A and B are shown apart, each in its own frame.
Chain A
Amino acid sequence: MSGLKIDDISMRFDLPNGSHVQALQNVSLDLKSGELMSVLGPSGCGKTTLLNIVAGFLKQTSGEIILNDKKVTGPGAERGMVFQQGALFEWMSVRKNVSFGPDMKGMPKAKSNEIVEHLLDVVGLQDFKDKAVYELSGGMQQRVALARCLANDPDVILMDEPLGALDALTREKMQGLVLKLWKETGKTIILITHSVEEALLLGERLLVMAPRPGRIHKEYRLPFAEMGVGGDLREVKKHPDYNSTREEILAMIWDMEEEIMGRTDGAAA
């Protein structure tokens, strides 16, 4: 079966004082090839832990990750990752950053150059290819990160709050870019975000997770990503369903946050 299967994943961190934290409990999920899923949840719900397990940076306590019929046991080039910020290699030019994956694989220069040129065109950084990455703005740097990830042609792209550090305007532009790349490349994408709006716009499927223990709370299938491709994201936001879903999810997360706060208050008393 082609696609990503997250099968009954649990993650338990044992603390030195003998207690433990159940970061994830029995999380199961199937992603078909080419699906775009956003993951939302209050802090501490284990969404980053889940992403790190899929990426292979963490080893789950139980359960399996299966990508294209192969078990995931560690990090690999077929699962690309885009981080919030600061994951670019500042000692390399934009071009070198983008060609990092192909270079590591030992791809011939001519071929990797072709890929890099194409991707720089796609993300609109053709004029900046010989600049150092620290000379670019935050939004441009994230475009480099996207291009770098795509250059490796991964099956799945894992995004850990990739737009979290950007200002509102840049962020909106970048959301459009992510949608465009998703549609053009047909990649499976999992995107973690803190922003409900972003999750609505960038999720064919939207996963709301709940904390303590980290688990899937509710899943939505949404039309907005499809609507947003090539269109105006602000138009999508005017859609009545968009607003009602947003309110619903906001209320849900708000409740969870309240519950946590209430619990901590109770513990203090």
Chain B
Amino acid sequence: MTTISPTTEYPILETARQQVLEDGIGLTEAQLLEVLRLPDPAVPAALELAHQVRLKHCGEDVEVEGIISIKTGGCPEDCHFCSQSGLFDSPVRGVWLDIPELVRAAKETAATGATEFCIVAAVRGPDIKLMNQIKFAIDRINEEVDINIACSLGMLTQRQVDQLASWGVHRYNHNLETARSYFPQVVTTHSYEERLETCAMVKEAGMELCCGALIGMGESLEQRAELAAQLAALEPHEVPLNFLNPRPGTPLENQQLMDGKDALRAIAAFRLAMPRTVLRYAGGRELTLGDLGTREGLLGGINAVIVGNYLTTLGRPAAADLTLLVDLNMPIKELQKTL
């Protein structure tokens, strides 16, 4: 049995116990950097504290989601981590998913107990054809499946935001991906500000904002703390936390996998930055953390998972994650249609 060092050994964790756990106030960027710099022996204590924060401020439920790509590949943007950019020599070919397949996937996802089904398109922003497809897909899914529908369609205009909200899209995903100071190293075809504009419009329209991070792209610990603080400032409903899975043909294909302990430190830090946010395990955890690390993260601040496969890569079997949640006595969040 592992003995967890008391937080009293680490002043930043004692500070976090009072500030985050007791008072519900997230850590500042400078404080987050201290968490990210904690030595390895302190990681279990940081995770334990993050878990307590999650239980106190979010509850014991775990939110389960499935994601699917309606339009894969051929994206005009140059996000250096992404195999779906049409600007890189990636083996991912462009393909559209037909609506019956989408509905079937939504049914299968709902059958796992998931409450969220996110439809994703690899685009800069949706055109009329895609918006029409999305409307049609939403209607068909709502006819046959009891699940909340989320979308991730890139940068939106105000009109598109209003349309998605009026169609009942429950949550919109638009990630910051990385810190503002590192963003130009990762994306050159659009700006950080453009991403923020879409995030702001989504919130203003009353949809829940899902705004995530992709860590392990070569950013410094300072930039990781900066990202967590920038996300916290946005006050998103959900933060999906991705770990880079270097994709063949992309500019980051030779980036080393992130160290598992660093990933766990980041999980604790993100929870201590955002005590009330849904913090979701997303892509790359299988490679970066493995089965043991996945468990540690769920006991260290994570309170949501993407089950099954991702957009172009495969995840753990849904049953494996669901069994793990049972083992951990973590109930799956039940469906509450709010819109």
Do these two chains interact?
no
